[in-house]
Amino acid sequence: MNISIFGLGYVGCVSLGCLAKNGHTVVGVDKVAHKVKLINEGKPTIIEKGVDELIRCQHKAGRISATKDYEAAVLNTDLSIICVGTPSTSNGHLNLDYIYKVAAEIGASIRKKNSFHVIAIRSTVLPGTNRKVGAILEEASGTKRNEQFAVVSNPEFLREGSALHDYYHPAVTVLGGDHQGALRVMSKIYADVEAPIEQVDIEVAELIKYVNNAFHALKISFANEVGNVCKKLDIDSHQVMDLFCKDTHLNISPAYLKPGFAYGGSCLPKDLKALKTIAHDHYLNAPILHAIEESNTVQKQLAYEMVLEAGRRNVAILGLSFKAGTDDLRHSPIVEVTERLLGKGFSIRIYDKNVNLSKISGTNKAYIDAHIPHLSDLISNDLEEVVGPSDVIVVNQRNKSFEQILAKYPDKKVVDLVKVELASANGNYQGICW
């Protein structure tokens, strides 16, 4: 395939060489004459292990070249990949001027083409950029999106220092687009890459890089805070974190990494508090450890506000314990939300088949007595009795019977804290963070 790459910086240079190595004929486009000159001499524009040899070999094979002439590049290729920079502005936003300028140039060139052209955005951009690029292309080309051209979001996951390995061995190749033909074109160019191809919504493809990097930053800072605590306690921090990483069931895994309601129970709040106390007692500033509880409080506040905004006073709570399949009410976030709603004069009915008040004892009983002392007047083991008279249903646990009864009452307001599976979700449904 004939491919043009706009932007010969880090991502552009690596992509240029790798695509050429895969058999494509690739032309790089850049405004900087020196970068164009380097490529045309068979030299890379960046310093990276293996890239110099890659560019030299592919240039010698006649598969790569570079130019400042964007129009010629577009007219002589079927796919243009945008790899220009998106630097931060002084207020933290992204400067997308380079992206939009390239889009206008590609659009003006498409106006002179008779064939369909695919544009892929590899640059890291904010959600909504793909749509705006499409609008710019329409205006500049005088054509319609998905008739004369298509725009695909294809974020890169290259790390400096290991870019060549990362290009050919990513965890996943992400494609976001609204034109099946363009998605097939992009899938073909990654046929030699050892990774599954995930076709997702455009905005998902645009956001994922930010989520990835924010989590990477969080992991580094979390490990550093643990290390600081360990040092104060004269404990080997690397041994602690090596052991931590060996748990691939819960720690280094998809476990808990699903958007939803707040955490609770007898362990997480208690042990987090203990670790924070250790840091405090040793005069350590541990902002991430302290922010965890604050974030959890925000999530409980969101749930509370969603019930208020539903505008109805009769509320059914489906699931009271902190986790399905248990009767543990200690620090259950829905207990706190229920307590606040009762304080506001809401009429509350509760269903939880695992909570038997006659069997609750010890700290579990003490906790619920302190927060909802008259729970026996509110709870029932009859699901229909709880849901029937209610106007708002708050779903706090996954349960097939909950899905069935929600389908039976499509006109009731639903506040979903766990992402239940519904056959249809009408305007009365709202998820806490979806």
Q: Per residue in 340-364, pLDDT tens?
A: 999 999 999 999 999 988 888 998 9
Residue with tokens 């590899």: 122
CA distances from 367 to 135, 147, 267, 321, 364 (A): 57, 63, 14, 12, 5
- pLDDT of 426: 73
Nearest to 84 by CA among 35, 41, 21, 18: 35
Give catalytic status of residue 267 as yes or no: yes
Contact 229, 286 (CB under 8 A): yes
- Architecture of the CATH domain 295-431: 3-Layer(aba) Sandwich (3.40)
- pLDDT of 424: 67
Average pLDDT over residues 382-411: 93
Type of residue numbered 277:
T
What 8-state DSSP symbol labels residue 382? Answer: -
- pLDDT of 145: 97
pLDDT band, very low/low/confident/very high, at 422 (cuts 50, 70, 90) = confident
Average pLDDT over residues 227-249: 97
What 8-state DSSP symbol labels residue 358? Answer: G
Residue 90 clears pLDDT 80, i.e. is over it: no
- pLDDT of 271: 95
For the segment 157-205, what is each residue's pLDDT rounded down to a tens digit?
998 889 999 999 999 999 999 999 999 999 999 998 989 999 999 999 9
Average pLDDT over residues 107-131: 96
- pLDDT of 149: 98
Average pLDDT over residues 33-61: 96
Residue tagged active-site, from 13, 83, 267, 433: 267
Residue with tokens 């793909």: 130
Average pLDDT over residues 404-409: 91
For the segment 257-307, what is each residue's pLDDT rounded down to a tens digit?
999 999 999 899 999 999 999 999 999 999 999 999 999 999 999 999 999
For the segment 205-223, what is each residue's pLDDT rounded down to a tens digit?
999 999 999 999 999 999 9
Enumerate the CATH 3.40.50.720 domain ranges in the chain, comma separated.
Answer: 2-200, 295-431
| 146 Rama sector, left if φ>0, alpha if ψ -120 to 50, beta otherwise | left
- pLDDT of 47: 92
Residue 123 clears pLDDT 90, i.e. is over it: yes
- Indicate whether this model's pTM tops 0.85: yes
CA distances from 202 to 106, 128, 199, 379, 423 (A): 20, 8, 9, 44, 24
Nearest to 417 by CA among 218, 273, 259: 259
Residue 423 clears pLDDT 70, i.e. is over it: no
Contact 413, 393 (CB under 8 A): yes
Give the pairing of strands 64-67 and 25-29.
parallel
Q: Give CA–CA dist 162/100, Å, rounded.
A: 29
Written as six digits, the tokens of 286 are: 């541990």
Written as six digits, the tokens of 71 are: 């129009």
Residues ≥6 apart with Cβ < 8 Å to 76: 2, 4, 27
- Euclidean distance between the first and the last CA atom of the chain, given in angstroms as a whole number: 39
**What's the CATH number of domain 2-200, 3.40.50.720, 3.40.640.10, 3.30.460.80, 1.10.240.10?**
3.40.50.720
